[in-house]
Structure 1
Amino acid sequence: MGIHIQKGEEEELIVKFNYTSGRVKKIKLIDGRRWDPEEKFWTIPYTEEAVEQLFNIFEDEEILVDESLDLDIYRGSIGAQTWKSKVLGEMKEELKLQGYSPNTIDVYLTHINQFIKFHKKNPETLQQEDVRKYLLFLLEEKESSHSYANQALSSLKFLYSEVLHKQEVVFNLPRPKKEKKLPVVLSQQEVSKILNSIDNYKHRAILFLTYSAGLRVSEVVGLKINDIDSDRMLIRVRQGKGRKDRYSILSEAALKALREYAKRYNLAKWLFPGGKKGTHLTERSVQRVFKKACKKANIEKDVSIHSFRHSFATHLLEKGVDLRYIQELLGHKSSKTTEIYTHVSKKKLNNIKSPLDDLV
């Protein structure tokens, strides 16, 4: 049996092969690889880097790719695109020098990777019409959201203006009009069902903390032990979005869940350590925990871990908490961002009686 590659869940690829210690050593070289002990297979991120690594380390073996996947462009490309490594390396370096967050750096580099994958050419040789063609592809063929296309354009503007110094390529390119979408909010009953569906102490502590303080997933995985101030009942969020520190509230229930978890784990630096020594848990792991909890709780809404943050803000608003305090807890730069929760709060809508009720 060769190396079999299939499509997995949430931008992952499933990799199957008969066990040999050599093969296991090889796949462990891939960043983000994970062994599923229940299903007995490996998964790797569905990214260009991970796929190229896979083809590279198993180049002496037969690789069988599922028909639903288009991975042929990676075959034989290993080592042939040194310009790509150079461009991405220079962009990563410039983003770091300008103080961009690790999350933004990853997002921008992913967009540029997708842009290169689409054109299969060195971006230095491309013109504005090539950028326009790619943006139209995102909007029309891939049916990407306007915010995703805007993010892609921001990445390309940074590449051509700050790295390649070819500003004319992205000069005066129009941005897709921002969509006015309302966040999906869970009811308090639904939140309770999700939290009560978890038996694992670590997973329970993570989700309790995420909802109770309205944290972003990147913020909760990055918490250190000394960020929990149980005397003042506060959580210190270091370098959140926009490189800002802030405090959020620590609930009694979340603190209890944390203490139950801490009794059973040997914690050193990170509040939620990852699989590798000295690292914290990944965002993907928390997202997976949330999805499994939703499935177990029979939640049918299309929600993500970020929905806990939306729900936290909406529930506070419905309890009568001033919008300015909610803005501070969430770490929003502008009050306009926080005001979106007034549109999903049931507080005002529940006071409005439908005219139908007067008729029947």
Structure 2
Amino acid sequence: MIEDMTVRNLSPATQRSYIHAVSKFSRYFGRSPDRLGLKDVRAFQVHLVSTGISWPALNQTVCALRFFYGVTLGHAEIPERIPYARQPRTLPVVLSADEVVSFLEAVPSLKTRTALTTAYAAGLRASEAVGLKLRDIDSKRMVMRVEHGKGGKDRYVMLSTQLLNILRGLPGIEWVILHGHSGGSMQERTLRRRYSSSRNP
């Protein structure tokens, strides 16, 4: 499966997501995924819905399973029979500038606060914010390079003076901007979990 994703140039984030989803599917039944069929997929989807999983996360799992069966196993007839979940159309909650400042000031971890501030100030996704490195910051042109964004595309985003000063004050900036406890980059799921805990203390 990894080779199939590499050949198709799927982004590292997408590859990690697909592997995680298929592994979770396999663990749920305690069997190798290539020994599981369409009925098992349906049962797994029902299980995920019962856990209260978000619609985006559920559909991400669907994408992973469709890829696994259709590409890796070569069962062309199966992917179309694994339905996507219909996501309710709701308006997002928009915070005022004061609410954003209050929220960020309440985040206890410096690295988490910096990651969330970067995501908010530059309009980055969680996966993009935690993947920033020193080489991605161009303080002369005041832009940041985002690698492997949505659709696997690279792009540049504006870098404000205020955000640059915040990043410069972060320990360990000589290697990875938002490093974790082990020295590697902070994981996207870690940032999302800390974001949720900060919103719902």
**With structure 2 as the length reference, what TM-score do the two structures score?**
0.80
Q: Which structure: greater strand fraction? A: 1
Corresponding position of 2:177: 271
SS state at 1:168 partner: coil
Aligned partner letter, 1:286: L
What do residues 240-289 of structure 1 show as CA deviations (whole Å, max 9, x unaligned)? 1211111112122212222333xxx3532322233335x32333443455
> 2:167·2:173 contact (CA, 8 Å) conserved in 1?
no
TM-score in terms of structure 1 length:
0.48
Report the alpha carbon displacement of residue 193 of structure 1 after superposing the two structures with TM. Answer: 0.8
Query: By how many angstroms is 1:113 displaced?
Result: 2.2
Q: How many residues align?
A: 201
Distance 1:260 1:112, change over 3 A: closer
Runs of 4+ residues over 6 Å off in structure 1: none
8 A Cα contact 2:128 2:146, kept in partner = yes
- Structure-2 separation of matches of 1:176 and 1:191: 31
Q: Alignment partner for residue 117 of structure 1, among 27, 31, 43?
A: 27
Within the alignment, does 1:105 sit opposite 2:15 as a pair?
A: yes
Name the structure 2 match of 1:249: 158
Structure 1 residues 268 and 128: alpha-carbon distance in aligned structure 2, compared to 1, 3 A threshold: same
Structure (1 or 2) with the larger CA radius of gyration: 1
Stretches of structure 2 that go unaligned for 5 or more consecutive residues are: none
Moved more, 225-234 or 283-292: 283-292
The question of whether the paired residues in 1 share the 8 Å contact of 2:143 and 2:156 is answered with yes
More helix by share: 2
Moved more, 117-126 or 152-161: 117-126
Q: Which residue number in structure 2 is paired with residue 282 of structure 1?
A: 187
Are residues 127 and 219 of structure 1, via their aligned partners in 2, closer, same or farther at CA, if it must alter by over 3 Å?
A: closer
Q: 1:219 aligns with which of 124, 128, 141?
A: 128
Mapped to 1, the partners of 2:168 and 2:35 lie a distance apart of: 57
Unpaired runs of 5+ residues, structure 1, are 1-90, 299-360
Deviation at 1:191, TM superposition (A): 0.6
Say what the alpha-carbon RMSD is for the aligned residues: 2.9
**Among 75, 79, 84, the residue aligned to 1:175:** 84
Moved more, 249-258 or 191-200: 191-200
Q: Secondary structure at the match of 1:93?
A: helix
Q: Tell me, in whole angstroms, the C-alpha distance in 1 between the residues paired with 2:56 and 2:101.
A: 31
Provide the C-alpha distance between the structure 2 equivalents of 1:205 and 1:182, rounded to a whole number of angstroms: 27
1:140-190 deviation line (CA, Å, top 9, x unaligned): x33444433332222221111111222334444443333213323322111
Q: One-letter code of the match for 2:180?
A: G
197 and 216 in structure 1: CA distance in 2 versus 1, 3 angstrom threshold:
same
Which residue number in structure 2 is paired with residue 24 of structure 1? none
**Distance in 2 (alpha carbons) for counterparts of 1:160 and 1:149:** 17
Is residue 221–residue 282 contact of structure 1 (8 Å, CA) maintained in 2? yes
